[in-house]
């Protein structure tokens, strides 16, 4: 079939929902078509975890969290350091701190708000997350636009304006096709379509249930949405220190604000994603250089030299000796977990 000049919203939702009823992904936080709406706690938790993170990466963390804290009340009562440790490796650690704050707020309210406005008042819940929870958990009609939906709508309406300027038109398009009923299923159907058929590379247009409605299908849909040129990330350098004593390693807590705030880590020289480190080593004496680890943050890349020393001296400042054979339980963020693996290998 040839694409029409303008998509017909009256048929898009019906065609997509019919496809979704047979092709919905079976995900641990989702209710399949025809099932009762999922627990708002599970929807909220999954949506926070999925921010800038893939489904494959989130699944084991979601299982760990819901196994340890089955309800939002359980999570609200958990020590923040335990939650941060369980989150370690998932990245964007401000999400975990807001998770604890939001859980406490929800527990204080006696349950999740069921409107976008009420949900947006929770720490760490922005427009997208509030809309997703309102639609999926509470059946509210809401305009839900994540990266997959953004791509589908840009192609469906052949929106040529580059991102981020195109987002207003994309939201308008999504609003036009979102139905009053089954808004949650429709949002998830758009997400599934973007992840399985309307992919960033090599979209499978011949299998798409919206092919006949798609204005961008005949005009090289792979180039949509139009993205601005990528900015080159600045590169930072720093040092981390592996201080070992009698089978334990010295760990510290990072400052309460800034990069990886509040996380357990190896001592370092004061680097950040904004500036190079310039601090002194935590102990005097000779250090063995073990090698280099690299890590990419949102706004910068980092090269971290790892230096080691065995000592009988207690380093200055607050910290704790952590058994090396239990280091996996310390909840080190990915950067310092890489440094620890390098040190243990040497």
Q: Which residues pair with 199 in a beta bridge?
A: none
For residue 4, give both structure tokens.
């029409």
For residue 47, indicate whether it is catalytic.
yes
12-21, 158-167, 276-285: least confident range: 276-285
Q: Distance of CA 177 to CAs 142, 152, 153, 172, 279, Å?
A: 11, 12, 9, 9, 55
Percent over 70 (pLDDT), the chain: 96
Q: What is the mean pLDDT of residues 152-156?
A: 97
* pLDDT tens string 205-221: 999 999 999 999 988 89
Taking residues 86-109, report their average pLDDT: 92
pLDDT > 90: what percent of the chain? 73
Q: Give the residue from 176, 102, 111 showing the smallest Cα distance to 138.
A: 111
**All domains of the chain in start order, with CATH:** 9-223 (1.10.340.30), 235-345 (3.90.79.10)
Catalytic residue among 47, 244, 288, 303: 47
Residues forming a β-bridge with 241: 307
pLDDT, one tens digit per residue, over 48-59 is: 999 988 999 999
C-beta atoms surrounding 181 within 10 Å = 11
Return the residue matching tokens 């990069």.
259
Q: 214 near 3, Cβ under 8 Å?
A: yes
């Amino acid at each position: 079939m040839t694409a029409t000049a303008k998509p017909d919203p009256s048929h898009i939702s019906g065609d997509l929902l019919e496809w979704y009823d047979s092709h919905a992904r079976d995900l641990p936080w989702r209710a399949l078509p025809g099932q009762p709406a999922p627990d708002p706690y599970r929807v909220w938790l999954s949506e926070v975890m999925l921010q800038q993170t893939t489904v494959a990466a989130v699944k084991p963390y979601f299982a760990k969290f819901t196994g340890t804290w089955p309800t939002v009340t359980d999570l609200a009562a958990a020590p923040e350091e335990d939650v941060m440790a369980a989150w370690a490796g998932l990245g964007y650690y401000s999400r975990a701190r807001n998770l604890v704050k939001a859980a406490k707020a929800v527990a204080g309210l006696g349950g999740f708000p069921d409107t976008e406005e009420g949900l947006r008042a929770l720490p760490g819940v922005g427009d997208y997350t509030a809309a997703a929870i309102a639609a999926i958990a509470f059946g509210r009609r809401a305009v839900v636009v994540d990266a997959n939906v953004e791509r589908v709508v840009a192609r469906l309406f052949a929106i040529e304006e580059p991102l981020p300027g195109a987002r207003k038109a994309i939201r308008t398009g999504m609003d036009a096709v979102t139905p009053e009923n089954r808004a949650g299923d429709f949002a998830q159907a758009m997400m599934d379509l973007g992840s399985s058929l309307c992919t960033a590379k090599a979209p499978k247009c011949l299998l798409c249930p919206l092919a006949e409605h798609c204005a961008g299908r005949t005009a090289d849909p792979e180039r949509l949405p139009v993205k601005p040129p990528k900015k080159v990330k600045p590169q930072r350098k720093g040092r981390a220190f592996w201080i070992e004593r009698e089978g334990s390693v010295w760990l510290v807590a990072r400052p309460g604000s800034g990069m990886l705030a509040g996380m357990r880590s190896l001592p370092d020289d004061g680097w950040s994603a904004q500036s190079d480190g310039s601090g002194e080593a935590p102990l005097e004496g000779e250090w063995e250089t073990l090698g280099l680890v690299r890590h990419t943050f949102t706004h910068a890349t980092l090269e971290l030299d790892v230096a080691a020393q065995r000592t009988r001296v207690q380093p200055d400042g607050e910290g704790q000796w952590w058994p090396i054979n239990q280091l996996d339980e310390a909840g080190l963020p990915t950067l310092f977990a890489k440094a620890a693996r390098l040190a243990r290998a040497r």
